Amino acid sequence: MLEDRNFSASLRLLSDLCESSFFFWDPIQPMRDRELVERVRDATDLLALVGQAVKLRKQGSAHVGLCPFHAERSPSFQVIPARGFYHCFGCGKNGDAFAWLMEREGLTFPEALEQLARAAGIDMPERRERPSAEVDLETRLRSALEAAQAFFEAQLARNEPVRAYLRDRGYEGAFLSEAGFGLAPDGWDALTNHLRGLNFSGELLEQAGLVSRSERGTQIDFLRNRLTIPIHDARGRVVAFGGRVMGEGQPKYLNTRDTQLFHKGATLFGFHRAKGAMKDGALVVEGYFDVLQLHQQGIYQAVAPLGTALTDEHLKQLGRFTRRVVLCFDGDAAGRRAMEKSLRMALPLGFEVRLLELPQGEDPDTWCLKLGGEAFRELLRTVPDWTAFMVDRAMDGKDLRRITDRMGAFKDLLEFLPYLPRTTESRDLFASLAHQLQVPLQELDRAVKGRQAPPPSYDEVDTTIPVQPELDELIRGLLLLSTAGQCRRVQELPAAWWDSLDGAPLLQALLDADGDATQLPEGALAALRHLEAKASPKDEAGRDVEALCVKLEARYVDRELQANNRLLQDPRTLVDADLTTRVMARQNELIARQKELSKRRRGLR
């Protein structure tokens, strides 16, 4: 059960639906809105939802795993299915199924509600039809893009040579339709005329990136004589197109321009399919056909930047789903340079990076076709980390007998060595490098320590200092009781008394471990030790079991009274005599219990 303040926040977000035009929503029926949220939440299997992205194992009433929101080696992330929430003791991220989608996929609350309701088979309120004058620009842009996609697909269906080209590249069967291949005809304005005939304005087509202007100022198709490939946003909606020239012409590949819906530097091709398949990490490749061939072979974690180098925005998207990235670019000099540049960006952001080098002249598309999907998956399971690649790059072309070349290699490596994990293998590598570069090992250590890896630049925390969770004073008392030999007594208390209080996940983890703090995840143990070290005389006084239990139940009764009062004010209660009787009976029962607890508290002072 979430706290009341979370319900209020949810309802405020729900009211935005009226303005955003997704659904018709009656804002004077907050109880109905709240019931819908609760119904969707109850119908959602949070364990299955999170388990799509995180490998979890059962531990007590929780399932634990490595946190998807920050880099860590020991699991501090847990899901409590019975309570419907997740919590990380390392970075502090927590929430329910709605929060999971909002955090991971960047959805708004209404979008998360709609997605979960659809997955659970729950009907949302009927759509509100709006006059055309109210239809916003984004909706019209999406309509134009969808119409363009239908046009391109129809052109491809009539062109056997281009379909043969796709078959030669290994694309066949149902995947041809799934990929959305199309054809932009070899003419100046075939698409423009088609869409204008569907009543799309020329201005809108330019805003969608579908048309451009000729030297004479007339509108012409942006993509001409090209195999087209739709580019989707994270939710699977077409936002742009890529085009591969058929025959002679430059550039070989071309994307439609940036628009209100599409920003090339923030879009990863194939991400809408890949985001649900990154449990073992993301595979970053170079181009459309690399991604599409890998997806056709069932390797859905593949994504690619769109003609640009990997950017901070790309990595930020990936970081919502995984902290493990495999870079696999073409096996030529340009591919190796791109791999090195991507590595320079990913390491400072806390990613565990592995590099898959392909044979000279191969790319992921052709190599996957030659090996087959299963062999390529096995290749991914055994891919090495980045160290050997960077050592080879640093040594390449250098004569280590010359001091200037040794110092050049040393300088190149110094940028990367601070990101090595502190393991026995790393020490062996340091010793080997010191020998090759003829540098004393102590000097190499000192130089690396002077270039310590800076903290990640976004949404990342120093995992050596776990976030200390906010703890309600009653939770603090229960934690201290549990570590002082009273765990069994705390376990006997009704969970409803405390499970909505700040710090409840930490208490749940301790109770699951039967009070044995050494069994806690690393972040939870650190938080508990911090609490014990900071315990005040007031906390010590809180170890009075009877007084704490009375105070805890009194707080619970107060919350129940507030909820019951809201139910009494609901219009449906007022018009239902039987319901009113039951609610009033519960109210009287709670008031009587409140008075009794107040008397007991006075007697304990």
Strand partners, 238: 232
**Calpha distance 496→556 (Å, rounded):** 8
For the residues 478-507, what does the mean pLDDT come to? 83
Instruction: Judge contact between 566 and 583, C-beta under 8 A.
Output: no
Q: State residue 3's pLDDT score.
A: 41
Is the pLDDT assigned to residue 453 strictly greater than 70?
Answer: no
* Chain mean pLDDT for the chain: 81
Tokens of 548: 């704490």
- The residues, ordered by sequence, that sit 6+ positions from 286 with a Cβ below 8 Å of its Cβ are 304, 305, 329, 330, 335, 338, 363, 364
Instruction: Judge contact between 551 and 474, C-beta under 8 A.
Output: yes
For the residues 37-59, what does the mean pLDDT come to? 86
Is the pLDDT assigned to residue 130 strictly greater than 90?
Answer: no
Is the pLDDT assigned to residue 454 strictly greater than 60?
Answer: no
Query: Comparing 109-118, 351-360, 377-386, 443-452, which segment has the lowest mean pLDDT?
Result: 443-452
Q: State residue 114's pLDDT score.
A: 86
Higher-scoring residue by pLDDT: 15, 394:
394
Q: State residue 12's pLDDT score.
A: 39
Q: State residue 133's pLDDT score.
A: 40
For the residues 409-426, what does the mean pLDDT come to? 76
- The residues, ordered by sequence, that sit 6+ positions from 206 with a Cβ below 8 Å of its Cβ are 212, 213, 219
**Calpha distance 67→78 (Å, rounded):** 8
Higher-scoring residue by pLDDT: 128, 38:
38
Buried-exposed string 428-453: b where 16+ CB fall within 10 A, e elsewhere: ebbeebbeebeeeeeebeebbeeeee
Q: State residue 421's pLDDT score.
A: 66
Q: State residue 204's pLDDT score.
A: 93
Tokens of 187: 């003419």
Q: What is the DSSP letter of 473?
A: H
Is the pLDDT assigned to residue 387 strictly greater than 80?
Answer: yes
Report whether the peptide linkage leading into residue 537 is cis, meaning its omega lies within 30 degrees of zero. Answer: no
The model's pLDDT over 250-297, given as tens digits with 9 standing for 90+, comes to 899 999 999 999 999 999 999 998 987 887 889 999 889 999 999 999
C-alpha neighbours within 13 Å on the C-beta side of residue 525: 12
Which segments of 2-96 does DSSP mark as H helices, in order? 4-20, 30-43, 46-51
Buried-exposed string 166-187: b where 16+ CB fall within 10 A, e elsewhere: beeebbeeebbeebbbbbbbee
Strand partners, 385: 354
Number of Cβ atoms within 10 Å of the Cβ of 228: 24
The model's pLDDT over 338-380, given as tens digits with 9 standing for 90+, comes to 888 888 888 888 788 899 988 888 889 999 999 998 999 999 9
Query: Comparing 11-15, 99-103, 117-121, 471-475, which segment has the lowest mean pLDDT?
Result: 11-15
The model's pLDDT over 565-596, given as tens digits with 9 standing for 90+, comes to 877 777 777 777 887 888 888 888 888 888 88
**Calpha distance 131→598 (Å, rounded):** 59
Q: What is the DSSP letter of 23?
A: S
User: β-strands 324-327, 352-355: how paired?
Assistant: parallel
Is the pLDDT assigned to residue 83 strictly greater than 70?
Answer: yes
Q: State residue 543's pLDDT score.
A: 54
Is the pLDDT assigned to residue 5 strictly greater than 60?
Answer: no
Give the helix/strand (H/E) hosting 226. Answer: strand 226-232
For the residues 8-32, what does the mean pLDDT come to? 41
Tokens of 193: 């005329």
Q: pLDDT tier at 461 (50, 70, 90 boundaries)? A: very low
Is the pLDDT assigned to residue 33 strictly greater than 80?
Answer: no
Is the pLDDT assigned to residue 14 strictly greater than 60?
Answer: no
Higher-scoring residue by pLDDT: 25, 384:
384
Q: State residue 605's pLDDT score.
A: 63
**Calpha distance 228→154 (Å, rounded):** 12
Give the helix/strand (H/E) hosting 465. Answer: none
Strand partners, 473: none
**Calpha distance 216→224 (Å, rounded):** 18
The model's pLDDT over 590-605, given as tens digits with 9 standing for 90+, comes to 888 888 888 887 776 6
CA distances from 57 to 72, 75, 283, 435, 486 (A): 16, 10, 25, 43, 27
**Calpha distance 277→377 (Å, rounded):** 13
**Calpha distance 528→545 (Å, rounded):** 19
Higher-scoring residue by pLDDT: 531, 189:
189
CA 214 from centre of chain: 42
The model's pLDDT over 160-205, given as tens digits with 9 standing for 90+, comes to 999 999 999 999 888 888 999 999 999 899 999 999 999 999 999 9
